[in-house]
Amino acid sequence: MYHHSGNIARQTAGSGTGVLEPAAPATDAIVFQRCTWCGTAMYHRLLCPVCQCGDLRTERSEGVGTVRHATVVHRNTPVARNVSLIELTEGFVVRGRVMGPPAAIHSGDRVRMSTVKDPVRGEPVFQLLDEPYRAWH
């Protein structure tokens, strides 16, 4: 029979076993895992999606990335909101919101993580690095 002991959880919380450290400030950076065996970066996983290794090292992202997919959601909100998949420079993808008019955010836009965090969903919020000049092209 398996019995979970609180001592084991406390021993592994600060180690490089992929457990996210609760003391890490969520507003300063995005915390992600990197597989120590194959080097794959991932967001909130227990096992590496490539090699299934459980030995994951916790790292901090610089918060700079590219919008891979953006969509406008009208459901369950009084106003339209943006939901985007952001590929960060470290090599992992995270779901978040990009500040600005939802129709002005497109795939390929460069973004940086903002100090703000979505209060309802707890997702990271990003801001555009380059002004959208699409109307001039």
pLDDT band, very low/low/confident/very high, at 116 (cuts 50, 70, 90): confident
Question: Looking at residue 103, what is its pLDDT?
Answer: 79
User: Which value, to the nearest 10 degrees, does the dihedral of the CA atoms of residues 114, 119, 124, 129 take?
Assistant: -30
Q: Alpha-carbon distance 126 to 114, whole Å?
A: 5
Question: pLDDT tens-digit profile of 52-89?
Answer: 999 999 999 999 999 999 988 887 777 778 889 999 99
Q: Which of 87, 88, 92 is nearest to 69 (CA)?
A: 87
pLDDT > 70? residue 127: yes
- Write down the pLDDT at residue 137: 46
- Torsion angles phi and psi, residue 82, rounded to 5: -95, 135
Q: Is the pLDDT of residue 24 over 80?
A: no
